[in-house]
Amino acid sequence: MPDLTPGQFQLVYNLLSLTVATMLAAGLFFYGSRAHVAHRYRPALLVSAIVVWIAGYHYFRIFQSWEGAFMLSGEGAYTASGAFFNDAYRYADWLITVPLLLVELVAVMALAKDEARSLLTKLVIAAVLMIAFGYPGEVSDNATTKWVWWAAAMVPYLYIYAALFSKMGPVIAANPGRVGSLLGLARNVLIVTWLFYPISFLAPVLGLGGATGEVFLQVGYTIADITAKAGFGVVIYMIAAARTEQEGHGATTEPLAA
Protein backbone atom coordinates (compact mmCIF):
# COMPACT_ATOMS: atom_id res chain seq x y z
CA MET A 1 0.00 0.00 0.00
CA PRO A 2 1.26 3.54 -0.74
CA ASP A 3 1.87 6.10 2.02
CA LEU A 4 -1.16 8.30 2.66
CA THR A 5 -1.58 11.76 4.13
CA PRO A 6 -3.84 11.88 7.23
CA GLY A 7 -6.51 13.51 5.04
CA GLN A 8 -6.41 10.69 2.48
CA PHE A 9 -6.47 7.98 5.15
CA GLN A 10 -9.36 9.58 7.01
CA LEU A 11 -11.43 10.27 3.88
CA VAL A 12 -11.54 6.55 3.10
CA TYR A 13 -11.85 5.58 6.80
CA ASN A 14 -14.86 7.85 7.37
CA LEU A 15 -16.51 6.95 4.10
CA LEU A 16 -16.24 3.21 4.85
CA SER A 17 -17.73 3.79 8.29
CA LEU A 18 -20.59 5.88 6.86
CA THR A 19 -21.27 3.11 4.34
CA VAL A 20 -21.67 0.48 7.08
CA ALA A 21 -24.27 2.70 8.78
CA THR A 22 -26.08 3.52 5.51
CA MET A 23 -26.32 -0.13 4.45
CA LEU A 24 -27.67 -1.29 7.83
CA ALA A 25 -30.24 1.52 7.98
CA ALA A 26 -31.35 0.93 4.37
CA GLY A 27 -31.84 -2.75 5.17
CA LEU A 28 -34.11 -1.91 8.08
CA PHE A 29 -36.14 0.40 5.83
CA PHE A 30 -36.55 -2.19 3.04
CA TYR A 31 -37.41 -4.94 5.50
CA GLY A 32 -40.02 -2.83 7.28
CA SER A 33 -41.47 -1.51 4.00
CA ARG A 34 -42.69 -4.95 2.96
CA ALA A 35 -45.88 -4.14 4.89
CA HIS A 36 -46.67 -1.33 2.44
CA VAL A 37 -46.68 -3.42 -0.72
CA ALA A 38 -48.77 -6.29 -2.10
CA HIS A 39 -47.62 -9.89 -1.44
CA ARG A 40 -46.34 -10.27 -4.98
CA TYR A 41 -43.72 -7.52 -4.48
CA ARG A 42 -42.57 -8.42 -0.98
CA PRO A 43 -39.76 -10.75 -2.15
CA ALA A 44 -38.24 -7.81 -4.08
CA LEU A 45 -38.02 -5.77 -0.86
CA LEU A 46 -36.69 -8.72 1.12
CA VAL A 47 -33.95 -9.19 -1.49
CA SER A 48 -33.17 -5.43 -1.31
CA ALA A 49 -32.73 -5.77 2.46
CA ILE A 50 -30.52 -8.85 2.10
CA VAL A 51 -28.32 -7.07 -0.48
CA VAL A 52 -27.58 -4.07 1.75
CA TRP A 53 -27.08 -6.24 4.84
CA ILE A 54 -24.55 -8.41 3.01
CA ALA A 55 -22.84 -5.23 1.80
CA GLY A 56 -22.94 -3.73 5.32
CA TYR A 57 -21.15 -6.79 6.68
CA HIS A 58 -18.52 -6.65 3.95
CA TYR A 59 -18.00 -2.91 4.46
CA PHE A 60 -17.41 -3.57 8.13
CA ARG A 61 -14.70 -6.06 7.19
CA ILE A 62 -13.18 -3.68 4.58
CA PHE A 63 -13.18 -0.94 7.23
CA GLN A 64 -11.30 -3.16 9.67
CA SER A 65 -8.87 -4.22 6.96
CA TRP A 66 -8.22 -0.58 5.96
CA GLU A 67 -7.61 0.38 9.60
CA GLY A 68 -5.16 -2.49 10.02
CA ALA A 69 -3.27 -1.92 6.77
CA PHE A 70 -1.80 1.45 7.87
CA MET A 71 0.00 2.87 10.87
CA LEU A 72 0.73 6.43 11.84
CA SER A 73 4.43 7.09 11.39
CA GLY A 74 6.48 9.56 13.41
CA GLU A 75 6.23 12.13 10.58
CA GLY A 76 2.41 12.18 10.69
CA ALA A 77 1.92 10.11 7.52
CA TYR A 78 0.03 6.85 7.30
CA THR A 79 2.43 4.17 6.12
CA ALA A 80 1.75 0.55 5.24
CA SER A 81 1.68 -1.53 8.42
CA GLY A 82 2.54 -4.67 6.49
CA ALA A 83 -0.90 -6.15 7.17
CA PHE A 84 -2.70 -7.15 3.99
CA PHE A 85 -5.53 -4.89 2.79
CA ASN A 86 -8.15 -7.35 1.66
CA ASP A 87 -9.80 -6.16 -1.56
CA ALA A 88 -11.32 -9.59 -2.08
CA TYR A 89 -14.17 -8.60 0.25
CA ARG A 90 -15.47 -6.32 -2.50
CA TYR A 91 -15.44 -9.04 -5.12
CA ALA A 92 -16.94 -11.62 -2.76
CA ASP A 93 -19.66 -9.07 -2.04
CA TRP A 94 -20.33 -8.29 -5.70
CA LEU A 95 -20.48 -11.97 -6.59
CA ILE A 96 -23.50 -12.31 -4.30
CA THR A 97 -25.09 -8.86 -4.45
CA VAL A 98 -24.90 -8.08 -8.18
CA PRO A 99 -27.04 -11.10 -9.20
CA LEU A 100 -29.45 -10.22 -6.35
CA LEU A 101 -29.81 -6.64 -7.60
CA LEU A 102 -30.89 -8.08 -10.94
CA VAL A 103 -33.39 -10.32 -9.10
CA GLU A 104 -34.90 -7.17 -7.51
CA LEU A 105 -35.31 -5.50 -10.87
CA VAL A 106 -36.83 -8.50 -12.63
CA ALA A 107 -39.21 -9.02 -9.67
CA VAL A 108 -40.80 -5.58 -10.12
CA MET A 109 -40.95 -5.90 -13.93
CA ALA A 110 -43.85 -8.32 -13.27
CA LEU A 111 -43.14 -10.50 -16.33
CA ALA A 112 -44.81 -13.85 -16.99
CA LYS A 113 -43.08 -16.59 -14.96
CA ASP A 114 -41.27 -18.28 -17.86
CA GLU A 115 -40.11 -15.01 -19.32
CA ALA A 116 -38.85 -13.78 -15.93
CA ARG A 117 -36.97 -17.03 -15.34
CA SER A 118 -35.24 -17.03 -18.72
CA LEU A 119 -34.26 -13.35 -18.48
CA LEU A 120 -32.96 -13.78 -14.94
CA THR A 121 -30.91 -16.86 -15.84
CA LYS A 122 -29.10 -14.95 -18.59
CA LEU A 123 -28.56 -11.86 -16.44
CA VAL A 124 -27.23 -13.85 -13.48
CA ILE A 125 -24.78 -15.86 -15.61
CA ALA A 126 -23.53 -12.64 -17.24
CA ALA A 127 -23.16 -10.94 -13.84
CA VAL A 128 -21.16 -13.81 -12.35
CA LEU A 129 -18.84 -13.92 -15.40
CA MET A 130 -18.35 -10.13 -15.23
CA ILE A 131 -17.22 -10.22 -11.60
CA ALA A 132 -15.13 -13.38 -12.04
CA PHE A 133 -13.29 -11.87 -15.03
CA GLY A 134 -12.67 -8.60 -13.17
CA TYR A 135 -10.94 -10.12 -10.13
CA PRO A 136 -7.65 -11.33 -11.66
CA GLY A 137 -7.26 -7.89 -13.26
CA GLU A 138 -8.08 -6.07 -10.03
CA VAL A 139 -5.38 -7.83 -8.02
CA SER A 140 -2.71 -7.65 -10.73
CA ASP A 141 -0.13 -4.85 -10.84
CA ASN A 142 0.50 -5.43 -14.53
CA ALA A 143 -1.18 -2.92 -16.88
CA THR A 144 -1.58 -5.41 -19.74
CA THR A 145 -3.15 -8.01 -17.44
CA LYS A 146 -5.55 -5.36 -16.14
CA TRP A 147 -6.58 -4.33 -19.66
CA VAL A 148 -7.12 -7.92 -20.79
CA TRP A 149 -9.42 -8.79 -17.87
CA TRP A 150 -11.17 -5.44 -18.13
CA ALA A 151 -11.98 -6.16 -21.79
CA ALA A 152 -13.16 -9.68 -20.92
CA ALA A 153 -15.46 -8.34 -18.17
CA MET A 154 -16.82 -5.66 -20.50
CA VAL A 155 -18.43 -8.34 -22.70
CA PRO A 156 -20.94 -9.65 -20.10
CA TYR A 157 -21.29 -6.09 -18.75
CA LEU A 158 -22.44 -4.77 -22.15
CA TYR A 159 -24.60 -7.85 -22.59
CA ILE A 160 -26.47 -6.95 -19.37
CA TYR A 161 -27.02 -3.38 -20.61
CA ALA A 162 -28.30 -4.63 -23.98
CA ALA A 163 -30.60 -7.22 -22.35
CA LEU A 164 -32.07 -4.61 -20.00
CA PHE A 165 -32.70 -2.19 -22.85
CA SER A 166 -34.39 -4.75 -25.05
CA LYS A 167 -36.47 -6.33 -22.26
CA MET A 168 -37.40 -3.24 -20.29
CA GLY A 169 -38.41 -1.09 -23.25
CA PRO A 170 -41.69 -2.97 -23.92
CA VAL A 171 -42.50 -3.20 -20.18
CA ILE A 172 -42.02 0.54 -19.78
CA ALA A 173 -44.15 1.20 -22.87
CA ALA A 174 -46.90 -1.07 -21.54
CA ASN A 175 -47.02 0.84 -18.23
CA PRO A 176 -47.69 4.49 -19.01
CA GLY A 177 -47.77 6.70 -15.96
CA ARG A 178 -45.97 6.35 -12.66
CA VAL A 179 -44.98 2.66 -12.85
CA GLY A 180 -43.42 3.06 -16.29
CA SER A 181 -41.52 6.19 -15.41
CA LEU A 182 -40.19 4.60 -12.20
CA LEU A 183 -39.08 1.51 -14.16
CA GLY A 184 -37.22 3.85 -16.51
CA LEU A 185 -35.64 5.51 -13.49
CA ALA A 186 -34.54 2.13 -12.07
CA ARG A 187 -32.91 1.24 -15.38
CA ASN A 188 -31.13 4.59 -15.57
CA VAL A 189 -29.91 4.39 -11.97
CA LEU A 190 -28.50 0.94 -12.71
CA ILE A 191 -26.85 1.99 -15.95
CA VAL A 192 -25.31 5.18 -14.56
CA THR A 193 -24.12 3.77 -11.21
CA TRP A 194 -22.66 0.65 -12.83
CA LEU A 195 -20.55 2.88 -15.10
CA PHE A 196 -18.42 3.83 -12.09
CA TYR A 197 -17.02 0.32 -11.70
CA PRO A 198 -15.18 -0.21 -14.99
CA ILE A 199 -13.93 3.40 -14.75
CA SER A 200 -12.66 3.11 -11.14
CA PHE A 201 -11.05 -0.22 -12.06
CA LEU A 202 -8.94 1.53 -14.72
CA ALA A 203 -7.71 4.36 -12.44
CA PRO A 204 -4.32 2.69 -11.77
CA VAL A 205 -3.60 2.15 -15.50
CA LEU A 206 -4.82 5.59 -16.55
CA GLY A 207 -2.00 7.29 -14.69
CA LEU A 208 -3.83 7.61 -11.38
CA GLY A 209 -1.32 5.57 -9.43
CA GLY A 210 0.03 5.63 -5.90
CA ALA A 211 -1.90 7.19 -3.04
CA THR A 212 -4.24 9.26 -5.25
CA GLY A 213 -5.13 6.20 -7.34
CA GLU A 214 -5.83 4.04 -4.27
CA VAL A 215 -8.00 6.73 -2.65
CA PHE A 216 -9.85 7.39 -5.94
CA LEU A 217 -10.54 3.67 -6.32
CA GLN A 218 -11.85 3.22 -2.77
CA VAL A 219 -13.99 6.37 -2.87
CA GLY A 220 -15.31 5.55 -6.37
CA TYR A 221 -16.36 1.99 -5.53
CA THR A 222 -17.85 3.02 -2.20
CA ILE A 223 -20.04 5.84 -3.55
CA ALA A 224 -21.11 3.60 -6.43
CA ASP A 225 -22.05 0.80 -3.99
CA ILE A 226 -24.21 3.12 -1.85
CA THR A 227 -26.06 4.39 -4.92
CA ALA A 228 -26.32 1.04 -6.72
CA LYS A 229 -27.57 -0.85 -3.63
CA ALA A 230 -29.33 1.50 -1.19
CA GLY A 231 -30.40 4.12 -3.77
CA PHE A 232 -31.49 1.48 -6.28
CA GLY A 233 -33.41 -0.34 -3.51
CA VAL A 234 -35.39 2.83 -2.80
CA VAL A 235 -36.44 3.00 -6.47
CA ILE A 236 -37.42 -0.70 -6.34
CA TYR A 237 -39.56 0.08 -3.27
CA MET A 238 -41.21 3.00 -5.11
CA ILE A 239 -42.07 0.74 -8.07
CA ALA A 240 -43.51 -1.94 -5.75
CA ALA A 241 -45.58 0.71 -3.92
CA ALA A 242 -46.83 2.27 -7.18
CA ARG A 243 -47.80 -1.15 -8.56
CA THR A 244 -49.59 -2.01 -5.30
CA GLU A 245 -51.60 1.19 -5.51
CA GLN A 246 -52.34 0.71 -9.21
CA GLU A 247 -53.52 -2.85 -8.64
CA GLY A 248 -55.83 -1.61 -5.89
CA HIS A 249 -54.36 -3.51 -2.97
CA GLY A 250 -54.65 -1.72 0.33
CA ALA A 251 -51.49 -2.46 2.27
CA THR A 252 -53.50 -2.57 5.52
CA THR A 253 -55.64 -5.46 4.21
CA GLU A 254 -52.60 -7.68 3.80
CA PRO A 255 -50.88 -8.22 7.13
CA LEU A 256 -47.19 -9.09 7.05
CA ALA A 257 -47.42 -12.37 8.93
CA ALA A 258 -48.36 -15.01 6.38
Closest distance to ligand RET from the beta carbon of 247 (Å): 29
Would you say 222 or 244 has its CB closer to ligand RET? 222
Contact characters 202-231, ligand RET, x per CB under 6 A: -----------------------x--xx--
Which amino acid makes up residue 25?
A
CB within 8 A of 210, min separation 6: which ones? Answer: 2
The span from the CA of 254 to the CA of 236, in Å, is 20
Tell me, what DSSP letter sits at residue 72?
E
Is there a contact between 224 and 196 (Cβ–Cβ < 8 Å)? yes
Stretches 167-175, 178-186, 192-200, 236-244: which one binds ligand RET (CB under 6 A)? 192-200
**Is residue 233 close enough to count as binding ligand RET by CB under 6 A?**
no
CB 108 within 8 A of CB 84: no
Instruction: Determine the Cα–Cα distance for residues 196 and 192; give it in Å rounded to an integer.
Output: 7
Residue choice 194, 236, 242, 244 for contact with ligand RET (CB under 6 A): 194
Interface stretch with ligand RET, choices 15-23, 41-49, 150-158, 245-253 (CB under 6 A): 150-158
The pattern of x and - marking residues 102 through 141 that bind ligand RET according to CB under 6 A reads ----------------------------xx--x-------
89 counts as binding ligand RET under rule CB under 6 A: no
Regarding 58 and contact with ligand RET (CB under 6 A), the answer is: no
Q: Which long-range contacts (CB under 8 A, 24 or more apart) does 88-92 make?
A: 88/135, 88/139, 89/58, 89/61, 89/62, 89/65, 90/58, 90/62, 90/221, 91/131, 91/134, 91/135, 91/138, 92/58
249 DSSP 8-state letter: -
Kindly write out the interface string for residues 159-178 of this chain, putting x where it contacts ligand RET by CB under 6 A and - elsewhere: --------------------
Q: Which residues contribute to the site for ligand RET (CB under 6 A)?
A: 94, 97-98, 101, 130-131, 134, 150, 153-154, 157, 194, 197-198, 201, 225, 228-229
